[in-house]
Structure 1
């Protein structure tokens, strides 16, 4: 059996690339990657560490209506963030609805303009001072 050695990217379908880019770039703060090759359809890639999010401007075969109100009960991607409070303020200012994680951890779920669910989890980074 082959060994899976890493997670490389998640692809999300979007109906309006400009609208999706506004969300991913202006609300989530991602920067487009120049690594995306020329393809037969429009799209954009975002690099997040060694992984990527690919937005594909293609027809969506799944219904957008009728999705669960809480993104944790739907297909979703999870992204690490450094400050949940700042994220909430950003989403509130942008008028993006969200629900808090029911697990009690510092996380929330929101949806992009095409209904793709995104979990954003606060990750605490520790710095160690070994000089003492």
Structure 2
């Protein structure tokens, strides 16, 4: 792959930015980018290394019902984490359901408060 091509950010539609920040900042530990300009709608930019997740508080055109239970069979964002077991415990304590990777590797799939699927995979 050419070096000049890389992911800069991923945008996720959310219904309530503050509620989403409880998940992304509180549970996953992502830090907001305070440089987000006023775009005419609420949202937040969150750092993931030198990339970002952009939370967009806009009407969601996607159905919230009928999505696959296992996030690995849906559109999803994969994040590398250091310790899946401790993250799984934090999710359980917060009442967030998840499924384990069907490949047997240390990874879990969950959904944020708006139904966006995430894969949280342990990397060395």
The unaligned stretches of length 5 or more in structure 2 are none
3 and 29 in structure 1: CA distance in 2 versus 1, 3 angstrom threshold: closer
Determine the C-alpha separation between the residues in 2 that align with 1:4 and 1:13: 27
Determine the C-alpha separation between the residues in 1 that align with 2:92 and 2:50: 29
Secondary structure of residue in 2 paired with 1:23: helix
Shift of 1:43: 0.4
Larger radius of gyration: 1
> Counterparts of 1:1-132 in structure 2 under 5 Å?
5-124=5-124
Normalising by structure 2, report the TM-score. Answer: 0.95
Determine the C-alpha separation between the residues in 2 that align with 1:88 and 1:6: 29
Q: Please list every run of at least 4 consecutive aligned residues from structure 1 whose deviation after the TM superposition is greater than 6 angstroms.
A: none
Q: How many residues are paired up? A: 123
Secondary structure of residue in 1 paired with 2:110: strand
4 and 76 in structure 1: CA distance in 2 versus 1, 3 angstrom threshold: farther
After superposition, the CA RMSD in angstroms is 1.4
Normalising by structure 1, report the TM-score. Answer: 0.89
